[in-house]
Amino acid sequence: MRVALGVEYDGRRFGGFQFQRGIRTIQSELERALSDIADAPIRVLPAGRTDAGVHAREQVIHFDTHALRSTVAWREGTNSRLPQDVSVRWANEVPPDFHARRSALMRSYRYRILVCPSRPALEAGRVFWSRRTLDVEAMRAALVGLEGEHDFSAFRAAGCQSHSSKRRLDRLALSVIGPEIILEVSGNAFLYHMVRNLAGSLLEIGRKRQSRDWLRELLAGRDRTRAGPTLPADGLYLWEIRYPERFGLEGSRRDACVP
């Protein structure tokens, strides 16, 4: 039997998703809890391997098991064995051809920027803090033209192991909610640190250190060394992953209060 789970986590105290010996990771916590419920070793595969400090509103994983448990048992039983900074939001039995990474149609990330004269306390480690006001309209204008398929070498980290730097972005949007500026980026897949690098360059425009045309110039130039800094993991969230309807995950997501 193959089971898919939607998982939420606060990444501040983790060394990332992927298992690393001697380091606390989301994968190790999930596999420990699930193996306890299944009474057998469980190995999970994620939709994406988030880095240290990155959060997830909805990471999707799948695993295979011979254990017969209800979806409620997989959710509630696993949660009873997980630490408070990780939670299974929903569980769903899926066909054997479902794959959390390869079956995904779209991934969406959000990067949160808090604009405030004083540093945050309750949101420390969950947002990027900007003491000074940013030019939101210039930042919005800078995103025009980045949707579609492009070579994103200018926003690709040096350690990226992908064979191609071409990616398709379906949506780039900037919204303002109170003192927060939220960058939303959706696409088929992402390069290593791509969203954090994009956010770092966008911040330079918001600070009026670069023109609103700069992102398009960087995209055309394909030179990472000319782009802005990599922003910290604090503000980055794996927000949503979409799959073909035939896998039947939408009902589970709605029932779990995931918008």
Statement to judge: residues 157 and 60 lie in one domain: no
Domain-located, residue 161: yes
Domain span at 130: 106-238
What per-residue confidence (pLDDT) applies to 258?
A: 61
As annotated, the active-site residues are 51
Does this model's pTM top 0.85? My answer is yes
Q: Are residues 164 and 231 in the same domain?
A: yes
Instruction: Point out the domain boundary residue: 72, 103, 134.
Output: 103
Same domain, 142 and 120: yes
Q: Using CB atoms within 10 A of its CB, is residue 22 exposed (0-12), middle (13-18) or buried (19+)?
A: exposed
Give the integer Cα–Cα distance in Å for 252 and 93.
10
Give tens-digit pLDDT for 206-254. Answer: 999 999 999 999 999 999 999 999 999 999 999 999 999 999 998 777 6
The whole-number pLDDT of residue 116 equals: 97
**Rounded to whole angstroms, how far apart are CA atoms 69 and 83?**
21
pLDDT reported for residue 251: 72
Which pairing describes strands 128-130 and 106-115: parallel, antiparallel, or unpaired? parallel
Tell me whether residue 118 is in a domain: yes
Return phi, psi of residue 170, to 5°.
Answer: -95, -25
| pLDDT given for residue 157 in this prediction | 85
**Same-domain status, 123 and 71:** no
Q: Are residues 50 and 152 in the same domain?
A: no
pLDDT at 111 (0 to 100): 98
Q: How far apart are CA 226 and CA 157, in angstroms?
A: 12
- Per-position pLDDT tens, the chain of length 259: 999 999 999 999 999 999 999 999 999 999 999 999 999 999 999 999 999 999 999 999 999 999 999 999 999 999 999 999 999 999 999 999 999 999 999 999 999 999 999 999 999 999 999 999 999 999 999 999 999 999 999 999 877 767 788 999 999 999 999 999 999 999 998 998 999 999 999 999 999 999 999 999 999 999 999 999 999 999 999 999 999 999 999 877 766 776 5
Q: Which residues contact 148 (CB under 8 A, 6 or more apart)?
A: 168, 169
Question: Which 8-state DSSP code applies to residue 213?
Answer: T
Same domain, 11 and 85: yes
Q: Do 192 and 232 lie in a common domain?
A: yes
Q: Which residue from 215, 221, 227 is spatially nearest to 146, judged by alpha carbons?
A: 215
